[in-house]
Structure 1
Amino acid sequence: MSRIPTPAYVYDLAEVRRNHSALRDALPADSGVYYSLKANAHPSLLRVLREQGASPEVCSSGELEAALVAGWPATEVLYSGPGKRDEEIGQALRAGVRQFSVDSPHAIEQMDRIAGRHGIRVQCLLRINDDQPVPGQGLAMTGVASQFGADTRWVLRETARFADRPHAEIIGLHLYMGTNLAETEDLLGQFERSLRTAKSLRAALTEHGVRLRVFDLGGGFGAPFASAGERIDFSALRPGLTALLDEELPGRNDDGTRIVFEAGRYLVGTAGVLLTSVLDVKQSHGKDVVVLESGINHLGGMPGLRRLPPLNPRLALDATDVAAPPPAVLDALVTGPLCTPLDTWSRAAKLPELRPGDVLAVPNVGAYGLSASLVAFLGHPLPIEAVVDGDDPDRAPEVTRIHLTRTTVTADTGPTLGVK
């Protein structure tokens, strides 16, 4: 990695393969795995995940395009999201997508109307917002007022409104309850709740002619973010989860029922590191201050969503060693180069003695890194993205850079932001 200029996100494809293998080993053998592209849609990571057998879950036209370019057939795509424009649904249908997640009767009717216009029938997973959250969630997705899904009690009260339409068939349930769970018991509790809810909804919808045969239990598989840590061991999950499925959905293998899960950060989080150089080191009012070439424009532009803990970057000697930093001697305010006091990573980072030109590394940022940051704010250059493969150490890093350019503003088109 010493040949890679900074700032740079470096992704290791070997770690992605290991993460996928670990997740597969933790889940029932007959289940499927969707990769949520919002975690990181870098084309090299997508290609590896496709080769490993994951399917794509997308939430936008841009993510759909990335999935198709990576080689997934459109028939493998699950198109989700709490609100969809008619234009993007039509675009997805023309591309060959036939499976969507829907959140309300209006969304079912919208799918029916647009699919009918195209002369096709689509399959829908009805997303459910269960009546109560489960413990351990990093970010609650259910059990609270939310744009995601239809409340369980609403579906049970007005079941007919959630039944099939002529061009939109309800084939399953989408039960994503929370994110970033780090304990096996919390995951089991979430899946148990989801399965019991699915069982009651299946009985109610069956009375209205709905045949549910796909159960997307979501995920929420946790991973360390921007801090030291290894892939979380969920190997104890499989036996407990298999027993739950046998209890709540007996005979599922005989009637063609399909169980799927979703993962994002677990598959790619530990595969990425951000390398960034020190621009200045000084003291201010008795406090050590370290100014980096990366700030909230390169990592952590979403702290307002309570997603970002204080970052404590570690020194990377020769831009290669992120495992064993030197002893800490600084208690530093760590900032980026942006012209705003909001551009702060940490107010008390324990760091070794630093000089301008030293390289710091932020580990475990393969998920929700560059694409989740304030990339256009103040117009600084973006980091490069470099791909390496620990399974092939002789392979030269694959380096790409995203360029943001503003297009000409006209009265007809309005302001747009182009991505090259």
Structure 2
Amino acid sequence: MSERLEDLVRKRAGGEPVCLFAYDLDRLTDHVRAITATLPPRCRMFYAMKANSADPLLRALAPLVAGFEVASGGELDKARAVSGNVPVLFGGPAKTPSEIERALEQGVLRLHVESALELHRVSAAATRLGVTAEVLLRVNLAGPFPSATLAMAGRPTQFGIAEEDLPGVVEAARALPGLRLSGFHLHSLSNNLSADAHLELVAHYGRTVSAWEREFGLRCEVVNVGGGIGVDYARPDRRFDWPRFARGLPGVLAEFPAHVREVDFECGRYLVAECGNYAVEVLDVKRNHGVQYALVRGGTHQFRLPSSWQHSHPFTVLPVDEWDSAVPRPQAEGPVTVVGELCTPKDVLARDVPVSRVRAGDVLIFSHAGAYGWEISHHDFLSHPHPEMVFH
């Protein structure tokens, strides 16, 4: 926990119960700048806005990344609010016809097409508007793939074009009006923690694209290898070894066709997770059936990630000594389960976590809350007040 964050939280203690997301923009930009500086010349880093689309984060990131990857018309609007010129990639498995048309009207750089029907919709919209839509075909590869928290390919999912259907879709992409097929999109998994495994995954993509070029008589200009680089929430100190990954990339890129001018990454979690913290005040401490609970102002309606991924999210206890001596101050020592203010036993942020002491009135700081926290949560369940958003 930084001194700046601690000071920020302590200034709010003593009034309404503390409940806030704090985003360290300096930490964010330092991290992203270090990543993009080590990418080989053919590689470009796009930011996947689904991880966190807060306007101050987008404005901090815009000068450092090659552009934004969006997956809805709403995200496209947020990207364009930052800049009318920022390059935008438009993805997502279920684009509406109106979203496709808006994307083309607003000059997105590229669309990632996920089905034959979607390809026809893009062609129709491009023809109506009198433009040429640059497209990549997203393919659900057969795998196998490295172990990761989520898999989008190598198994039945709603993502991408099945490999057995690819010949027909490639033929359509080359024949339909208003389209220019530039290459393939191959995002297959999420939250891979091994640099070596991720290098092998990217190398596999290169070999696969080379085989498709021979099979279909193509010359790909662009290959999008997705994101999928992870954060270890169980052991936050055990980071993905980006320097090792970056050192290995030039050798891996040698397996890509020489005429592929651009290899795109679209990372989200890995870029922004560490810059965010979720601070919540302990409202009560109690024991039920032998389990100690810390009940906080907040919960999974604001920070759904630990419930969604079924893990105990890492936190530290910030002691707050001020307390009204006229009322009891319950405390716990030893394993504690942190729960929120919702009327459901599933509102759990961390389970059976050893602590030296936690008291009512203390503040818990959940680290690595910059990605898929507020963004994926059911904010208005029970109509509690929203947390404060602090960008510092």
Verify same fold: TM over 0.5.
yes
Q: Does the CA contact (< 8 Å) of 2:47 and 2:65 recur in 1?
A: no
* Match status 1:224 vs 2:228: no
> 2 CA distance for matches of 1:40 and 1:337?
24
> 2 CA distance for matches of 1:356 and 1:298?
20
Normalised to the residue count of structure 2, the TM-score between the two structures is 0.88
What's the CA shift string for 1:154-173, capped at 9, x where partnerless?
Answer: 21466423434211211121
Normalised to the residue count of structure 1, the TM-score between the two structures is 0.82
Offset at residue 205 of structure 1 (A):
3.2
* Match status 1:15 vs 2:27: yes
Q: Does the CA contact (< 8 Å) of 1:291 and 1:337 recur in 2?
A: yes
Gaps of 5+ in 1: 320-327, 389-420
What's the CA shift string for 1:247-303, capped at 9, x where partnerless?
Answer: 332354xxxx21111110111000000000000012222321210111111112673
% of aligned pairs identical?
30
Offset at residue 95 of structure 1 (A):
2.2
1:227-306 matched pairs, under 5 angstroms: 228-229=236-237, 231-250=239-258, 252=260, 257-300=261-304, 303-304=307-308
- One-letter amino acid of the structure 1 residue matched with residue 154 of structure 2: G
* Match status 1:37 vs 2:37: no
Larger mean CA deviation between 288-297 and 344-353 belongs to 344-353
1:33-112 matched pairs, under 5 angstroms: 33-71=45-83, 73=85, 76-112=87-123
* Match status 1:356 vs 2:355: no
Q: Does the CA contact (< 8 Å) of 1:155 and 1:162 recur in 2?
A: no
* Match status 1:172 vs 2:204: no
Offset at residue 335 of structure 1 (A):
0.9
> 2 CA distance for matches of 1:298 and 1:41?
15
SS in 1 for 2:352: strand
SS in 1 for 2:166: helix
- The match for 2:223 is 215
> 2 CA distance for matches of 1:82 and 1:4?
42
SS in 2 for 1:153: helix
Offset at residue 330 of structure 1 (A):
2.5
Offset at residue 332 of structure 1 (A):
1.6
> 2 CA distance for matches of 1:91 and 1:145?
30
- One-letter amino acid of the structure 1 residue matched with residue 312 of structure 2: P
Q: 1:129 to 1:106 in 2, by over 3 A?
A: same
Q: Does the CA contact (< 8 Å) of 1:34 and 1:263 recur in 2?
A: yes
Q: 1:301 to 1:218 in 2, by over 3 A?
A: closer
- The match for 2:325 is none
SS in 1 for 2:242: coil
Which residue among 315, 318, 332 is the counterpart of 2:317? 315
Which residue among 374, 379, 382 is the counterpart of 1:378? 382
Q: 1:224 to 1:317 in 2, by over 3 A?
A: farther
RMSD: 2.2
- The match for 2:341 is 337
What's the CA shift string for 1:190-212, capped at 9, x where partnerless?
Answer: 10111111111222333xxx542
> 2 CA distance for matches of 1:251 and 1:91?
31
Q: 1:232 to 1:164 in 2, by over 3 A?
A: same
Offset at residue 152 of structure 1 (A):
2.4
Q: Does the CA contact (< 8 Å) of 1:133 and 1:140 recur in 2?
A: no
Q: Does the CA contact (< 8 Å) of 1:134 and 1:189 recur in 2?
A: no
- The match for 1:139 is 150
The number of residues matched between the two structures is 370
Q: Does the CA contact (< 8 Å) of 2:282 and 2:363 recur in 1?
A: yes
> 2 CA distance for matches of 1:333 and 1:260?
41
Query: Structure 1 stretches (4+) deviating beyond 4 angstroms?
Result: none
If each structure's helix is expressed as a fraction of its own residues, which one has the higher value? 2
